[in-house]
Structure 1
Amino acid sequence: MLMSSPNRPAMLSYGPNGFRMLQPGDHVVCTVTGEKIPLEVLRYWSVERQEPYASAAIATQRLLGQA
């Protein structure tokens, strides 16, 4: 179970198979769109860039340099 703090952004460390919480929170912010992503639905991120993304399409655009 993830520990969270309501209405606060979490600080995460992104790995190839998951993420580790560095500072408690209930969401992260998409690097491209600025959209809040609740931790329970976070599925897309870049390990190399340490960035979260709101969708697979947004992650693909970013990784291809189109966003």
Structure 2
Amino acid sequence: MLTTSSDQPAKLHYGPNSFRVIRNGRFVPCAVTGEPIPLDTLRYWSAEHQEPYASCEIATRRLTGQV
């Protein structure tokens, strides 16, 4: 079975205001929940930890050590 880039998660480099695609894909998994986040809806990440988050609540919990 062949896989396409849309079947695999993207690999991103997270900057303070944007991210750069290192490997093509249509989603990244949330660093906390594992749920897939489509790249066109990705809004929350940590440049320091190089992690994406599914929501602002999850990002806040992770970055304040509550997860």
5+ long unaligned stretches in structure 1: none
| Residues 15-65 of structure 1, C-alpha deviations (whole Å, 9 max, x = no match) | 011000001111000000000000000000000000000000000000000
In the superposition, the TM-score normalised over structure 1's length comes to 0.91
Aligned to 1:31, the other structure's residue is in SS state coil
Match of 1:10 in 2: 10
* Match of residue 37 from structure 1: 37
Structure 2 portions without partners, runs of 5+: none
Q: How far did 1:6 drift?
A: 1.5
Measure the CA separation in 1 of the matches of 2:6 and 2:23: 12
Look up the match of 1:24: 24
CA shift, 1:7, in A, is 2.0
Identity among equivalent positions (%) equals: 62
Larger radius of gyration: 2
Confirm or deny that 1:61 pairs with 2:32.
Answer: no
RMSD of aligned residue pairs (Cα, Å)? 0.6
4+ residue runs over 2 A deviation:
none
Give the match's secondary structure for 1:34: coil
* Matched residue type, 1:9: P
Q: TM-score, normalised by structure 2?
A: 0.91
